Amino acid sequence: MLLEQIHDPSDLKKLNLKQLRQLAEELRGEIVRVVSERGGHLASNLGMVELTIAIHYVFDAPEDKLIMDVGHQSYAHKLLTGRYEAFQHLRQRDGACGFPLTEESEYDAFTAGHASTAISAALGMARTRDIMRGDYNVVAVVGDGALTGGMSYEALNDAGQNETRMIVILNDNDMSIAKNVGAVSRYLTRMRQSKGYIAMKQGVRSKLENGHRFARAFYRVLNRTRNSLRSLFVDDQFFAALGFKYIGPVDGHDLKHLIRVLRSTRDNSLPQLIHVVTQKGRGYRPAEDHPDVYHGVAPFYMESGASKSETRVSSGSVAARELIALADNDIRVCAVTAAMPAGTGMIQFQQAHPDRFFDVAIAEEHAVTMAAGMAAQGMKPYVAIYSTFLQRAYDQIMLDVCRNGLPVTFLVDRAGLVGEDGATHQGVFDLSYLRSIPGLIVAAPRDVRDLKKLIELSHETDRPMAIRYPRDCEDLGPGIQSQREFGVGEWELISDGRDVMIFAVGRMVQLSMQASIELMGKGVSAGVVDARFVAPMDRDMLLERACGVKLVVTVEENVINGGFGEGVLEILAKAGVSTPALTLGVPNRYIAHATVAQQLEECGLSAMDIARRVRKRLAELSEARL
């Protein structure tokens, strides 16, 4: 295998074109094999193979800086930069991260995971190079999906104004996770279709090489009138107006041509944008046929492409079904997503109510303020965004929705620890960043039944509300189902305890119940309260249950700093309650990729950990009393 001989990009430069093509096939095989075992981003990576080879063939990383937007398409890059072994453990604890990570390799110039940051980061590096009188190239690789994010335009606008030397490679596969949307996407489609011009030019050139007389004459005319003729076919006004020299469209699977084009851009002193057209899922039939389904996958059988994991009903799909039912009877109900129709489950809403579904592209800030505008005119918008991506829209939630007191509901998906996607994707900050916003109701269901009730409640209230939930929500069954309907801010006593009261949020309710059983076995009577509202809190229940026990415990799948537990401590302190308290949650650091179970353990949040930590604190307290 050629791949085994590539320890860093300098080995790549020793290969001839035929070998580079063979390497491309080997890379594809390796990516499909490893992703089939470990899960990960498949289709985007298969589309990037030739482009990655060409970039490393032409540029000299790590001196030249390569910045990949989102970074989910960096697998070939990892395999070509000395991480073959780590890649065998892709997305596993201590294995290769699924995104570029500066700690992992000097070839990863910038840690990423969220979209539309690459051009800004690249511009910052290019400016630094110029100040420090360096002489390296800075190359940002941005997908057409990532180009829909506002930051990309902020960066292009800035880069173009004073002509900073940098290269932006637009990897255009016409797909975000789902089909790309928006006017810019339509514009790119027109540019791609101008490939007719390029095909014609190439056809004429090859005929010329074969000595065709008319072709030779035509090619001469074509070349002479190149610019005016080209503009008939390729409308590059948009990028030119932003101050970028536009090059393309270029076939992203034609290695020879790619290398030639990239070479022509090396060391140029202008901002340049190379428009490369690739096919998402290239080379693996199931991914070519369904690039959206194979964007990010769980482990699958290579032969058939079928998933190895059993299909589970996601919380998002439960939420979508509930919303559809509400929308059936209320024309005000609409759904908004930022490029994640399938991931958030809202694709079902789209099918049921296409005229009230809005995919605004990778534009979380816009999604929130657009929903605020709709709510201001009488709609009841539901904005479904993952916890980690909603971080982008903090100011819009704070001012455009909440300052205006508008009834927008945020369906905050993938809340809590998310597993293999790792540090950039953890949903462990939302309770902190949402809890502090005046007027916003913040709730977390303990299971799907609760999720449905919370959505019903959100429909009844005219206040802004956020409901946060993990991807998979259990159904804890009617056994512990709330016996009564609850209002905003009401918690629920699940079991009483003489020694300890555990106040738990969301998925932690179930683990706390298991912990209480474990504690009972050790002679500790621990009760559990489902603290389903983190804002406003149920002060009365808290004070009632916190007095008279030896220890108050809070458990949340959120960072401790600014989280639920700190809110509880504040209420207890202000009320003068002196019961000792233990706050359990995610430590205030970035939690790397691993399984959710491993991450829970790492944070000391498994049921056994909760029980162990409670007993330890009880022991410390009784020692202190002696």
Ligand X SMILES: Cc1ncc(C[n+]2csc(CCOP(=O)(O)OP(=O)(O)O)c2C)c(N)n1
Q: Which residues are catalytic?
A: 280, 364, 392
**Judged by CB under 6 A, does residue 156 bind ligand X?**
no
Segment interacting with ligand X, rule: CB under 6 A, options 143-151, 365-373, 393-401, 548-556: 143-151
Size of the site for ligand X (CB under 6 A): 23
Closest CB to ligand X among 395 and 544? 395
Q: Omega of the bond prior to 478 within 30 degrees of 0, cis?
A: no
Q: Which helix (H) or strand (E) holds 386?
A: strand 380-386
> For ligand X, which residue of 280, 282, 356, 414 counts as binding (CB under 6 A)?
280
Rounded to a whole number of angstroms, the minimum distance from the CB of residue 366 to ligand X is 12
From residue 234, alpha-carbon distances to 167, 247, 263, 542 in Å are: 20, 10, 22, 66
The answer to whether 73 and 171 have CB atoms below 8 angstroms apart is yes
Cis peptide bond prior to 249, omega within 30° of 0: yes
Residue (of 75, 98, 20, 29) closest to 53 by Cα position: 20
Assign 3-state DSSP to the chain and report helix, strand, coil percentages, each to 5: 45, 15, 40
Q: Are 62 and 107 in contact (CB under 8 A)?
A: yes
Is there binding between residue 91 and ligand X (CB under 6 A)?
no
Measured from the CB of residue 474, what is the shortest distance to ligand X in angstroms?
25
Judged by CB under 6 A, the stretch of 140-148, 327-335, 400-408, 458-466 that binds ligand X is 140-148
Residue 437 and residue 421 in contact, taking contact as beta carbons nearer than 8 Å = no
Indicate whether 393 belongs to the interface with ligand X (CB under 6 A).
Answer: no
| Residue 76 interacting with ligand X (CB under 6 A) | no
70 forms part of the interface with ligand X (CB under 6 A) = yes
Backbone angles phi and psi of 92, in degrees to 5: -95, 160
Out of 67, 126, 139, 339, the only residue in the binding site for ligand X (CB under 6 A) is: 339
The verdict on 175 binding ligand X (CB under 6 A) reads yes
Does the footprint of ligand X cover residue 453 (CB under 6 A)?
Answer: no
The answer to whether residue 396 forms part of the interface with ligand X (CB under 6 A) is no
- DSSP code of 252? T
Estimate to the nearest angstrom the gap between the alpha carbon of 134 and the chain centroid: 33
Q: Does 316 sit near ligand X (CB under 6 A)?
A: no
Edge to edge, what strands does the sheet with 245-251 contain?
65-68, 138-143, 166-172, 271-277, 245-251
Choosing from 83, 165, 253, 392, the residue that interacts with ligand X (CB under 6 A) is 392
Comparing CB distances to ligand X, the nearer of 175 and 501 is 175
Told to check if 68 binds ligand X by CB under 6 A, we report no
Q: What is the largest CA-CA distance in the chain?
A: 104
Taking the least distance from each CB to ligand X, the nearer of 174 and 490 is 174
Determine, following the binding rule CB under 6 A, whether residue 95 of this chain makes contact with ligand X. no
The verdict on 383 binding ligand X (CB under 6 A) reads no
77 binds ligand X (CB under 6 A): no
Which residues of this protein are in contact with ligand X, per CB under 6 A? 44, 47, 70, 72-73, 114-115, 143-146, 171, 173, 175-177, 280, 295, 339, 362, 364, 389, 392
